[in-house]
Amino acid sequence: MVEHRPWNDIIAYAILTFGVFIVAFPVYLAMIASTHDAVTVIGGNMPLLPGGHTLENYYRAIFVGGSHASREPVGHLLLNSFISATGIAVGKIFISILSAYAVVYFRFPFRKAAFWIIFVTLMLPVEVRIYPTYKVVSDLHMLDTYAGLILPLIASATGTLLFRQFFMTVPDELLEASRIDGAGPFRFFWDTLLPLSVTTIAALFVIQFIYGWNQYLWPLLITTQDSMQTIVTGIKKMLTTTDELAEWQLAMATAVLAMLPPVAVVVFMQRLFVRGLVETEK
Amino acid sequence: MANVVLRNVRKTYAGGFEAIKGINFEVGDGQFCVLVGPSGCGKSTLLRMVAGLETVTSGEIDIGGRIVNAIEPADRDIAMVFQNYALYPHMSVYNNMAYGLRNRGMPKPEIESRVQDAARILELGAMLDRKPRQLSGGQRQRVAMGRAIVRQPKVFLFDEPLSNLDAKLRIAMRVEIRKLQRRLNTTSIYVTHDQLEAMTLADILVVMNGGQVEQIGNPLDIYQKPATTFVASFIGAPPMNLLPLRSDEIKSQLEGSAAANEAGLLGIRPEDLVISSDSAAGGIALDLTVEAIERVGAETFIYGSRRHEAQGVAANPGELPPGEVIVRIPGAIAPAIGERIRAVAPREKLHLFSVDGRKRIEL
């Protein structure tokens, strides 16, 4: 145990406060900027207290869109982001848990090889294989579709590895007891392994949802129509203007909105995490 | 109701390691068979082969007149209790017991009545809605038993079911398992490394070592007439004293017996030695120096060394180091350390073995 000294506390709090300030201040500024009108934000003297245009800015951001005719309202972009992030998270969990089940519980030829091939894909994130992936997606006519946004990001090994590690901690006797109880491979998976994996699934969902939500390069490449953009690419496009002032207050409102769903996912899923930590017994 | 017959059963692993080297025995209907042996002797592997969790390399396993070598565990009509219980952690006690029955498509009322019956027998009635983690070790053990009982199988298989319990509970559960088995009259095979459990539970005791059967029989017969020195030192605690028979004082005391000339080792159970100043007529007398004394209350163990023997370390775990002799006497009155004593055993209590210890020679 560290001895309790008042000075230690003061120093620790000072460092932590400084850290929080560095992280939180830009977020705070974004929230403040989203409550003022365009003139105030661009004026150069950024106020540090909320202004009076909150409702107007958020209403415009969500339902109307920027003043440029081609920009989609954020409401629609949020929906796009939500669909693709959820699709990526769910799809990845589905594929990973099945492949991990196969790799851990079945003896088939080239099992080791299969595992290593899955493992190697860790070294090939979307950015590395972006040209061939684009080519395949475009040949399959999946540009500007949800499938195109989701499928290429599902394929990667992180989830498989996570589930594999978890499955290997499940005692073999549980499988043997199931066999004696007359449960075949599918029943064992459905009745025993899946309920035990709930917390792992929750963890992977959070990670993958945020991963999917934060995707920038891939959606930027394959979406050409504004109606298929995600919110992360949408923010960027709000700021690229040619002959007008960028509407910073709307961009900031959008940024704040973009932060909310991942925060909500983390907050909601955290309860599952904690429950999982308290109830770990296999 | 069924008997279990093993015919020349062998198990060789992919690496070429031979875990089970040809085992034959029969467990009669309703009998309680205990497989006992040191770790790594293949007893658990053999049980798992009967359960169908391990494949049989060659030989036949016959349950109730049906060769089950190629039959899935679920269809062998057996139930198994695992060492770590292997309860489904996310299911309630009720569901843990009902799961196997549901998988067989048994009607709900039947499941209900079977689980309630088992819960009553095992005094789990108040815990049916709890999860395994909310139960104590002994209660989990009972749920594991319940899961086996509700199946009403032909054979119960137990894989060291008591080794995760503390000493007191282990004794209580041991008695309970035996009572339950008598009451249900179900053929049982029980694996343990604890010779006391083995002695107290078994109708038939199978002593295994190195993938082979050393001796099969009634526990008391095995105790009284061990077939090999391995059995002699494994069954019984403290182990049987084994003394080499060379041309020394011991052998001269057995002069005139043909068997003694053939034999290489003399075995005497610690409780068969009596401290006495008389020379034993026809029996054997050992002169010992007291090295250590253990008092356990009702009895006392005296560790003595013999003058003529070289001191050393035991050849196998569980055996005594050469030259050391244990005498077990009732009560707590014992000689002092360093004192010279004479321990005497009557002739009918002596065991003779061949030099390699693999053969018993009748005196």
Range scoring the smallest mean pLDDT among A5-14, A54-63, B38-47: A54-63
Confidence of residue A229 (pLDDT cuts 50, 70, 90): confident
pLDDT (mean) for B300-320: 68
Asked if pLDDT for residue B115 goes beyond 70, the answer is yes
Tell me the chain B residues in contact with residue A185 when contact means C-beta distances shorter than 8 Å: none
Q: What is the pLDDT of residue A60?
A: 81
- Among A173, A174, A281, select the one facing B133 at the smallest CB separation: A281
Asked if pLDDT for residue B311 goes beyond 70, the answer is no
Q: What is the pLDDT of residue B318?
A: 56
Q: What is the pLDDT of residue A69?
A: 46
Asked whether residue A4 is assigned to any structural domain, the reply reads no
A contact set with B (CB within 8 A): 171, 173-174, 176-177, 179-183, 187, 191-192, 195-196, 279, 281-282
B154 & B293 share domain: no
B250 & B341 share domain: yes
Q: Which residue of A has its CA nearest to B95?
A: A191
Q: What is the pLDDT of residue B249?
A: 62
pLDDT (mean) for B356-360: 86
Range scoring the smallest mean pLDDT among A218-227, A242-251, B268-277, B349-358: A242-251
B90 & B219 share domain: yes
Q: What is the pLDDT of residue B308?
A: 55
The residues that bridge with B191 in the sheet, in sequence order, are B35, B159
pLDDT: is B69 or A126 the higher one? Answer: B69
pLDDT: is B318 or A248 the higher one? Answer: A248
Sole residue written with tokens 């960027």: A236
B154 & B256 share domain: no
Tell me the chain B residues in contact with residue A191 when contact means C-beta distances shorter than 8 Å: 88, 99
- Chain centre distance of CA B199: 6
Q: What is the pLDDT of residue A90?
A: 95
Radius of gyration from C-alpha coordinates of chain B: 24
The Cα of A184 is separated from the nearest Cα of chain B by a number of Å equal to 9
pLDDT (mean) for B346-360: 87
Pairing mode, strands B284-295 and B340-345 = antiparallel
pLDDT (mean) for A60-75: 70
Q: Which of B103, B136, B145 to mutate to test the interface with A (most CBs of A within 10 A)?
A: B103
Q: Which residue of B has its CA nearest to A196?
A: B90
SS3 state of residue B289: strand
Q: Which one, of A247, A221, A248, A251, lies nearest residue A234 by Cα?
A: A251
Asked if pLDDT for residue B220 goes beyond 90, the answer is yes
Residues B82 and B63: their CA atoms lie apart, in Å, by: 20
Q: What CATH number has the domain bearing residue B92?
A: 3.40.50.300
pLDDT (mean) for A43-60: 81
User: Which DSSP state fits B299?
Assistant: E
Asked whether residue A112 is assigned to any structural domain, the reply reads yes
Judge: B99–A181 Cβ closer than 8 Å, yes or no: yes
Tell me the chain A residues in contact with residue B51 when contact means C-beta distances shorter than 8 Å: 176, 180
Confidence of residue B301 (pLDDT cuts 50, 70, 90): very high
Q: What is the pLDDT of residue B10?
A: 94
Judge: A191–B99 Cβ closer than 8 Å, yes or no: yes
Range scoring the smallest mean pLDDT among A58-62, B22-26, B175-179: A58-62
Asked if pLDDT for residue B338 goes beyond 90, the answer is no
Q: What CATH number has the domain bearing residue B254?
A: 2.40.50.140
State the distance between the two ends of chain A, measured CA to CA, in whole angstroms: 31
Judge: A179–B90 Cβ closer than 8 Å, yes or no: no
- Among B80, B88, B90, select the one facing A180 at the smallest CB separation: B80
Domain enclosing residue A156, as ranges: 66-281
SS3 state of residue A93: helix
B12 & B106 share domain: yes
Residues B286 and B306: their CA atoms lie apart, in Å, by: 8
- Among A174, A180, A191, select the one facing B74 at the smallest CB separation: A180
Structurally, chain A folds into a number of domains equal to: 1
pLDDT (mean) for B264-278: 87
Asked whether residue A25 is assigned to any structural domain, the reply reads no
Share of chain B above pLDDT 70, in %: 91
Asked if pLDDT for residue A125 goes beyond 90, the answer is no
Q: What is the pLDDT of residue B50?
A: 95
Burial A261-278 (b: 16+ CB within 10 A, else e): bbeebeeebeebeeebee
Judge: B73–A176 Cβ closer than 8 Å, yes or no: yes
Asked if pLDDT for residue B32 goes beyond 90, the answer is yes
Sole residue written with tokens 């930027």: A220
Judge: B84–A173 Cβ closer than 8 Å, yes or no: yes
pLDDT (mean) for A66-74: 63
Domain enclosing residue B190, as ranges: 4-233
Contact assessment for residue B242 and residue B221, using Cβ atoms and an 8 Å cutoff: no
Tell me the chain B residues in contact with residue A170 when contact means C-beta distances shorter than 8 Å: none
The Cα of B47 is separated from the nearest Cα of chain A by a number of Å equal to 13
Structure tokens at B300: 């006392």
Confidence of residue B22 (pLDDT cuts 50, 70, 90): very high
pLDDT, chain A, mean: 85
Asked whether residue A158 is assigned to any structural domain, the reply reads yes
pLDDT (mean) for B216-227: 94
Share of chain A above pLDDT 70, in %: 91
pLDDT: is A71 or B192 the higher one? Answer: B192
Burial of A223 (C-beta count, 10 Å sphere; 0-12/13-18/19+)? buried
Asked whether residue A91 is assigned to any structural domain, the reply reads yes
Asked if pLDDT for residue B93 goes beyond 70, the answer is yes
B250 & B125 share domain: no
Tell me the chain B residues in contact with residue A180 when contact means C-beta distances shorter than 8 Å: 51-53, 73-74, 78-80, 100
Range scoring the smallest mean pLDDT among A99-108, A119-128, B145-154, B189-198: A119-128
Confidence of residue A41 (pLDDT cuts 50, 70, 90): confident
Share of chain A above pLDDT 90, in %: 31
Tell me the chain A residues in contact with residue B103 when contact means C-beta distances shorter than 8 Å: 181-183, 187
Structurally, chain B folds into a number of domains equal to: 2
Asked whether residue A10 is assigned to any structural domain, the reply reads no
Contact assessment for residue A203 and residue A277, using Cβ atoms and an 8 Å cutoff: no
Tell me the chain B residues in contact with residue A176 when contact means C-beta distances shorter than 8 Å: 51, 53, 73, 80, 82, 86
Q: Count CA atoms closer than 13 A to B147's CA, side-chain side.
A: 32
CA angle A247, A248, A251 (to 5 degrees): 95
The Cα of B128 is separated from the nearest Cα of chain A by a number of Å equal to 19
Asked if pLDDT for residue A282 goes beyond 50, the answer is no
B218 & B316 share domain: no
Residues B77 and B94: their CA atoms lie apart, in Å, by: 21
Domain end marker among B233, B251, B284: B233
Asked if pLDDT for residue B314 goes beyond 60, the answer is no
Q: Which residue of B has its CA nearest to A186?
A: B103
pLDDT (mean) for A113-128: 86
Q: What CATH number has the domain bearing residue A242?
A: 1.10.3720.10
- Among A171, A183, A196, select the one facing B90 at the smallest CB separation: A196
pLDDT (mean) for A199-207: 86
Asked whether residue A77 is assigned to any structural domain, the reply reads yes
Tell me the chain A residues in contact with residue B52 when contact means C-beta distances shorter than 8 Å: 179-180
Judge: A176–B84 Cβ closer than 8 Å, yes or no: no
B69 & B211 share domain: yes
pLDDT (mean) for B36-61: 93
Judge: A179–B80 Cβ closer than 8 Å, yes or no: no
Judge: B80–A174 Cβ closer than 8 Å, yes or no: no
Judge: B80–A176 Cβ closer than 8 Å, yes or no: yes
pLDDT (mean) for A163-170: 90
Asked if pLDDT for residue B125 goes beyond 50, the answer is yes
pLDDT in tens, B76-92: 999 999 999 999 999 99
SS3 state of residue A249: helix
State the distance between the two ends of chain B, measured CA to CA, in whole angstroms: 42
pLDDT (mean) for B217-230: 93
Judge: B74–A191 Cβ closer than 8 Å, yes or no: no
Tell me the chain B residues in contact with residue A195 when contact means C-beta distances shorter than 8 Å: 90
Asked if pLDDT for residue B317 goes beyond 60, the answer is no
Q: What is the pLDDT of residue A71?
A: 65
Q: What is the pLDDT of residue B62?
A: 94
Q: What is the pLDDT of residue B244?
A: 82
Sole residue written with tokens 């989990």: B140
The Cα of A170 is separated from the nearest Cα of chain B by a number of Å equal to 10
pLDDT in tens, B41-53: 999 999 999 999 9
- Among A176, A187, A195, select the one facing B86 at the smallest CB separation: A176
Q: Which residue of A has its CA nearest to B103?
A: A182
- Among A173, A182, A279, select the one facing B86 at the smallest CB separation: A173
Confidence of residue A275 (pLDDT cuts 50, 70, 90): low
Domain end marker among B233, B256, B284: B233
pLDDT (mean) for A57-73: 71
Q: What is the pLDDT of residue A11?
A: 92
